[in-house]
Amino acid sequence: MASSAKPRPVALVCTALTVVGSPVAHSLSPAYHNSIFRALARPARMVPLDVTRMSEILTNADALRLDGLAVTHPLKRDAIAAARAVMPGARSTGSANTLLRTPAGWQARNTDWKASCDLLPRLLTAWRADLGDPHEWLPPTLEACWKGQGGPGLRKKIQRDHPPKVLLLGSGGAARAVAVAMFEQDVELAIWSRRLANARELVDDLAETLPALAIPEPGHLPVDIAINATPVGMEGIDPFELQTFSADNFRPGAIAIDLAYGGGSSPFRDAAAAAGVPLIPGEVFFGLQARRQAEVFAGTTIAADVRLQAAKCCGAGG
């Protein structure tokens, strides 16, 4: 006998992209989140959408039955302005990559910051423990991030007597999320941005909690950890601004962290390969970020097997 119950409407969670957004981002986020929604039997779907202003989509939220947004560059600051409530991670970074519709209005969150907090403290602790070749201790460290466990080196007495030299490439929302995640870490931080004024602005914003130095040129500054928080490496993005980045930027035993995903060769990835240092690809960071974002959209924690299947669906790995 057919049920007389009315079907539940499907809520949309959109990936808000600009007209110059990466085609990869069109597919990666929807594939991940829709896998989660299916596994949880939630009547929701994520769809990609190109917009140039947040107002273009928020004014039509009712008609679209829109319950959330995964926001990409360069709309992350606009997302803050559009929100009624701003959660601590978004407030401290000044940007939001997630908007959630609530009875009180739009709520802004930053899951780039949460992913950075999952990843960077574990990496820095393992580096300080001087565990040897990072090619060996990095995989179990990443597995610990994925599972939310303590990583290698967390129980070992710290041996290095000097802080790691860290180079952060970029000054936008993702870069700010990374920087805020290092607030309580003892690091020597240098920040480069395509516009030196933007790097100096970020340095000034961090001054009370994380001293840093703005540099005019990223090339040939040897560091222990290099983090690409620019879009260079995404499909369709001009790689010119990182052309001076090279293998000389890496000290022995260094690590490269790429937040950009998709595409193929890039100056950052090529430099890491030439230096023979392990590279954490952007797909891994995306997986950590998307896990946190999925928890926001679903309103619950996500089981490890469900997250793993979602990661496989979009090629983000575990």
Pick the most confident of 1-5, 53-57, 188-192: 188-192
Q: pLDDT tens for residues 137-161?
A: 999 999 888 877 666 666 665 678 8
Output the pLDDT for position 242: 93
pLDDT per position as a tens digit, 209-264? 899 999 999 877 899 999 999 989 988 788 888 999 999 999 999 999 999 987 78
- pLDDT band at 181; cut points 50, 70, 90: very high
Percent of the chain past pLDDT 70, that is, above it, reads 88
CB atoms within 10 A of CB 209: 12
Q: Give the per-residue pLDDT at 91.
A: 93
**Confidence check: pLDDT of 21 > 50:** no
Residue 16: pLDDT band with limits 50, 70, 90: low
Q: What is the mean pLDDT of residues 38-42?
A: 93
Q: What is the pLDDT of residue 154?
A: 60
> Do residues 124 and 152 lie in contact, with contact meaning Cβ atoms separated by under 8 Å?
no
Please state, in angstroms and rounded to a whole number, the distance separating the CA atoms of residues 30 and 117. Answer: 24
Q: Give 153 or 24, the one with higher predicted confidence.
A: 153
DSSP H or E run through 67: strand 66-71
Mean of pLDDT values over 164-192: 94
pLDDT at 23 over 80: no
| Residue 74, preceding peptide bond in cis (omega within 30° of 0) | yes
- Per-residue pLDDT, averaged over 106-122, amounts to 94
CB of 98 within 8 A of CB of 81?
Answer: no
Q: What is the pLDDT at residue 114?
A: 92
Q: What is the pLDDT of residue 157?
A: 59
**Chain-centre distance for alpha carbon 286:** 6
Note the pLDDT of residue 105.
93
Please tell me what DSSP assigns to residue 194: S
Residue 23 makes CB contacts below 8 A (sequence gap 6+) with: 235, 236, 262
Cβ-proximal residues to 179 (8 Å cutoff; 6+ apart), any chain: 168, 189, 191, 202, 206, 210, 212
Query: Against a cut of 0.85, is the pTM above it?
Result: yes
User: Roughly how many angstroms between the first and final C-alpha of the chain, as a whole number?
Assistant: 43
Lowest mean pLDDT among 17-21, 85-89, 117-121, 165-169: 17-21
